[in-house]
Amino acid sequence: MRDSVTGLLPLLADGRFHSGQVLAQALGVSRTAVWKQMETLKRNGIDIHAVRGRGYRLATRLELLEADRIRAGMPPRALRLMSVLELLGCIDSTNSHLMQRIDSLDSGHVCLCESQQRGRGRRGRRWVSPFGQNLYVSVAWHFDLPPAALAGLTLHLGMAVADALSCHGHANVKLKWPNDLYAGERKLGGILVELSGEMGGGSRIVAGLGLNVLMTRDVDGHIDQGWTSLALLDPENPPSRNRVAGQVIGAMLEALADYGAGGAGDLASRWQRYDLLAGEEVELHLPDRIVRGRAVGIDAHGGLLLRSSAGLQSYQAGEISLRTVK
């Protein structure tokens, strides 16, 4: 797949027909090799039209990730915080890719890919990751803080990404505790923070973001909840993936640096602006029980505050799912 991404796909990205012979000459390979690469692309979910006498073309124009265009969308401070910008084709997961090497990576190592075969959300749920449609990005970071001090990090990152999207006119983004980005009542993206550290010592984390950018249909029928994308929110002005990538990566890098320097501020107060479920009757599904009550924000450490028949209680992130009672 990597050869197809670096060689064939850029030639097809304009959405026009290209003959097998012209493609073979451009790549310095045989027409059989071109056909094999086409089959590989199809197996990875890329919609390709083949017409006898005309050649091959993508069903829709494709904007591949480009390092220079991503950097152009980042603020100067974020550029200084980024140590590496790694662009990949189709991999298992950007989070897994970095977590496997977390001890050897510098803070600010950023990884993006065109598609994930095993993208994950919370509780190991699959994240649908069609090729070249959305953003799948992970950032490695080292903190001097112990793991227990990172309880509010996911919320802090979510607010930073929501701000970046809203400030650039993409959407009025809200957050569903603890890690989902929403536009209206539909999910736009999610954040997954994975941690490696020792009690009392420093922490190494990978913060992953999946964001629906250009996806306009459920590509394989596996999305089991209401979703949307930046393109669906403004169909007359579809966004640039590279520009959005620069915006959200910049927001994540600056948020990570601020959190490590004690700049997260008052989480509970800040959360009020983004809280999708404020005042809603909700259900919390815990491993051993279901708690019903009214969501009334978060505590100082990012725990969900729920007012129920037992009074006001706080619940931390973990094996918990949250859904509004219909």
Kindly report, residue by residue over 55-64, the tens digit of the pLDDT: 888 877 778 8
The answer to whether residue 176 is catalytic is no
CA 276 to chain centre: 19
pLDDT at 2 over 70: no
Where residue 35 falls among pLDDT bands split at 50, 70, 90?
confident
Where residue 112 falls among pLDDT bands split at 50, 70, 90?
very high
The answer to whether residue 323 is catalytic is yes
Q: Which of 57, 120, 187, 204 is an active site residue?
A: 187
Please report the pLDDT score of residue 108 as a whole number.
98
Task: Kindly report which listed range (35-49, 81-95, 188-202, 287-301) carries the lowest average pLDDT score.
Answer: 35-49
Classified as helix, coil or strand, 96 is helix
Q: Provide the token pair at 144.
A: 């001097």
| pLDDT (tens digit per residue) in 264-277 | 889 999 999 999 99
Q: Which of 57, 122, 174, 176 is an active site residue?
A: 122
Please report the pLDDT score of residue 16 as a whole number.
85
User: What average pLDDT does the chain have?
Assistant: 87
Please report the pLDDT score of residue 198 as a whole number.
65
| pLDDT (tens digit per residue) in 67-103 | 999 999 999 999 999 999 999 988 989 999 999 999 9
How many Cβ atoms sit within 10 Å of the Cβ of residue 101? 12
Please report the pLDDT score of residue 39 as a whole number.
84
Where residue 200 falls among pLDDT bands split at 50, 70, 90?
low
The answer to whether residue 122 is catalytic is yes
| pLDDT (tens digit per residue) in 299-309 | 999 999 999 88
Q: How many residues does the chain have?
A: 326
Please report the pLDDT score of residue 238 as a whole number.
86
pLDDT at 119 over 80: no
Q: Which of 42, 43, 101, 323 is an active site residue?
A: 323
Where residue 6 falls among pLDDT bands split at 50, 70, 90?
low
Q: How far apart are CA 134 and CA 114, in angstroms?
A: 8
Q: Contact 60/82 with Cβ under 8 angstroms?
A: no
> Does residue 70 come out as left (phi exceeding 0), alpha (psi in the -120 to 50 range) or beta?
alpha
Q: How far apart are CA 95 and CA 120, in angstroms?
A: 9
Domains with residue ranges and CATH for the chain:
2-58 (1.10.10.10), 67-270 (3.30.930.10), 277-324 (2.30.30.100)
Place of tokens 């009690």: 199
Please report the pLDDT score of residue 322 as a whole number.
64
Please report the pLDDT score of residue 318 as a whole number.
47
